[in-house]
Amino acid sequence: MKNALITGITGQDGSYLAELLLEKGYNVYGIMRRKSVVDYGNVDHIKDKINFIYADMTDVISLINAMIISQADEVYNLAAQSFVATSWEQPIATADINALGVTNMLEAIRTVKPSAHFYQASTSEMFGLVQEIPQKETTPFYPRSPYGVAKLYGHWITKNYRESYNLYACSGILFNHESERRGKEFVTRKITDAVVRIKLGVQDHLELGNMDSKRDWGHSKDYVKAMWLMLQQETPDDYVIATNETRTVREFVEIAFNHVGITVEWQGTGVDEIGIDKTTGKTIVKINPKFFRPAEVDILLGDPTKAETVLGWKREIPFANLVERMVKNDMELVTREIKISKLN
């Protein structure tokens, strides 16, 4: 039985990866931050099967301790301040966790168990102001946020430890991936949650920032399979994981509303653009400039050919199904929430 250590286990990807590794018979360890109210986040349903270790990415001693306890054969570094918008408000914390935190984890591995295989959660945000379309492993980086800059450090330090110390260290350059477990601050889940609330009459309208922004959206469940595959190869390497399809935020809004039987019609331009419910004539989408970013990543479109060819990885959940699943899940959650609030 192999031991795996997952940082960021309470997050979206951490939860799907934990499920995958448990299915494969791994002994799963996960690091958790101390909180005033104990919260297992997205792994609450499988918490009894996971060995939790209190640690923090900014505290190398705690990571060394996590390596000693877990004796991990595979380490998946998913922990991060992962919300791009927050990285302008907390640039130092973002760098501490997303950049130096990676060195902390690599040093812990080097100190305790240098034979461990290491996965770093790199990101398409590193491509930022894209230098070519589609983006692949060889595309030059140009990050556009403190988050992207910090992640680029994490990416290069992973490569550097591979080349300097011969560690089995890989970076997965993952494009946006979403799910029913996505945090509600991210645009896709913000949209699916609002769409069902508007449909059920408990929210008036949805406020968004830049709807022209294009993203390559996949499902997290597919993407964690790629992480595992990267650590099973003869030699470590870096891979782009993406769907090779891109859509605007506006298209996501339209499709999500379609799933609850609402057709959106657009009127106006720029900050004055609004989305109207075609049947009722009511304004259900507005622009709020507070959601604009100081610098934007306009388009992401990934080419996963290398991962498909070398790893045999394949995306299984198509985009239409991703949106459908998210809307359906939010419909169940919000309906339950309304029922409970009526009982109280």
Binding residues for ligand G4F, rule CB under 6 A, total 24
Q: What does 253 interact with, of ligand NAP, ligand G4F, none (CB < 5 to 8 A by kind)?
A: none
Q: Select the residue interacting with ligand G4F from 15, 124, 243, 246 (CB under 6 A).
A: 124
State the minimum distance, in angstroms, from the CB of residue 192 to ligand NAP.
15
State yes or no: is 163 an active-site residue. no
177 has binding-site annotation: no
Q: For ligand NAP, what does the binding mask look like between residues 156 and 195, x meaning CB under 6 A?
A: ------------------x-xx-----x------------
Report the residue number, 3 or 94, with the smaller CB distance to ligand NAP. Answer: 94
Report the residue number, 173 or 287, with the smaller CB distance to ligand NAP. Answer: 173
Segment near ligand G4F (CB under 6 A); pick from 135-143, 235-243, 295-303, 323-331: 295-303
State the minimum distance, in angstroms, from the CB of residue 149 to ligand NAP.
13
Please identify which of the residues 26, 76, 119, 147 carries the catalytic annotation: 147
State yes or no: is 234 an active-site residue. no
Spell out the SS3 assignment of the chain.
CCEEEEECCCCHHHHHHHHHHHHCCCEEEEEECCCCCCCCHHHHHHHHHCEEEECCCCCHHHHHHHHHHHCCCEEEECCCCCCCCHHHHCHHHHHHHHHHHHHHHHHHHHHHCCCCEEEEEEEHHHCCCCCCCCECCCCCCCCCCHHHHHHHHHHHHHHHHHHHHCCEEEEEEECCEECCCCCCCCHHHHHHHHHHHHHCCCCCCEEECCCCCEECCEEHHHHHHHHHHHCCCCCCCCEEECCCCCEEHHHHHHHHHHCCCCCEEEECCHHHCEEEECCCCCEEEEECHHHCCCCCCCECCECCHHHHHHHCCCCCCCHHHHHHHHHHHHHHHHHHHHHHHHHC
208 scored as a contact of ligand G4F (CB under 6 A): yes
Q: What does 78 interact with, of ligand G4F, ligand NAP, none (CB < 5 to 8 A by kind)?
A: ligand NAP
Closest CA to 83 of 237, 187, 231, 219: 187
Q: What does 210 interact with, of ligand NAP, ligand G4F, none (CB < 5 to 8 A by kind)?
A: ligand G4F
Binding residues for ligand NAP, rule CB under 6 A, total 25
- Positions in 258-287 near ligand NAP (CB under 6 A): none
State yes or no: is 178 an active-site residue. no
In the complex, which residues of this chain contact ligand G4F (CB under 6 A)? 82, 84-85, 123-125, 175-176, 185-188, 190, 208-210, 213, 215, 249, 291, 293, 296-297, 300
Please list the active-site residues. 123, 125, 147
Residue ranges for the binding site? 205
